[in-house]
Amino acid sequence: MSKYVYPAIFTPEENEVYSIRFPDVEGCYTCGDNLADGIEMAEDALALVIYGLEKDGKQIPEATPLDDIHLNKGEFISYIACDTMEYRKMYNNKAIKKTLTIPEWLNEAAAAKNINFSQVLQDALKEKLNVG
């Protein structure tokens, strides 16, 4: 799964700044210069932490129902969504060299047509995995 939704607790600070924490996701905190910035920063922080859990093979926590979350005075909750596949595409785009084996005749035919093997493989993998 690469799409997640968690409740985030927004705490207003001075000068329209917000501190944001995710009670269900250990170590997931951020802040924003205003509400819009806070939401954007929260999406990024959530994607980073959940992506790390996925990459390390750790269990992804369940989201707590809103009614079970205690708020302090002035705080409010908003759901924040993230897509770890989109996060991977943006921040983990390092090229990896792979060795592959194809029949010689296929290699010659593709080379004669100036086909870019890397691009064809990328396109085929994206189609096979249903990722854009």
Model confidence at 85: pLDDT above 70: yes
Q: With beta carbons less than 8 A apart as the criterion, state whether 6 and 24 touch.
A: yes
Same domain, 56 and 113: no
Confidence class for position 3, pLDDT limits 50, 70, 90: very high
Same domain, 84 and 108: no
Same domain, 12 and 68: yes
pTM for the full model? 0.73
Tokens 């035919």: give the residue.
109
pLDDT in tens, 8-65: 999 999 888 999 999 999 999 999 999 999 999 999 999 999 999 998 999 999 999 9
pLDDT in tens, 90-119: 777 777 788 888 888 988 898 899 999 888
Same domain, 69 and 131: no
Would you call 77 helix, strand, or coil by DSSP?
strand
Identify the pLDDT of residue 86: 84
Domain count along the chain: 2
Confidence class for position 1, pLDDT limits 50, 70, 90: low
Q: With beta carbons less than 8 A apart as the criterion, state whether 30 and 38 touch.
A: yes
* Segments forming the whole domain that contains residue 18: 3-91
CA-to-CA distance for 116 and 119, rounded, in angstroms?
5
Model confidence at 132: pLDDT above 80: no
Tokens 């596949």: give the residue.
85
Same domain, 86 and 106: no
Same domain, 85 and 107: no
Same domain, 86 and 116: no
CA-to-CA distance for 22 and 42, rounded, in angstroms?
9
Q: With beta carbons less than 8 A apart as the criterion, state whether 122 and 43 touch.
A: no
DSSP structure string for 2-64: -EEEEEEEEEE-GGG-EEEE-TTSTT-EEEESSHHHHHHHHHHHHHHHHHHHHHTTPPPPPPP
Write the CATH number for 42: 3.30.160.250
Identify the pLDDT of residue 2: 85
Same domain, 84 and 102: no
Same domain, 86 and 101: no
Same domain, 46 and 107: no
Q: With beta carbons less than 8 A apart as the criterion, state whether 85 and 119 touch.
A: no
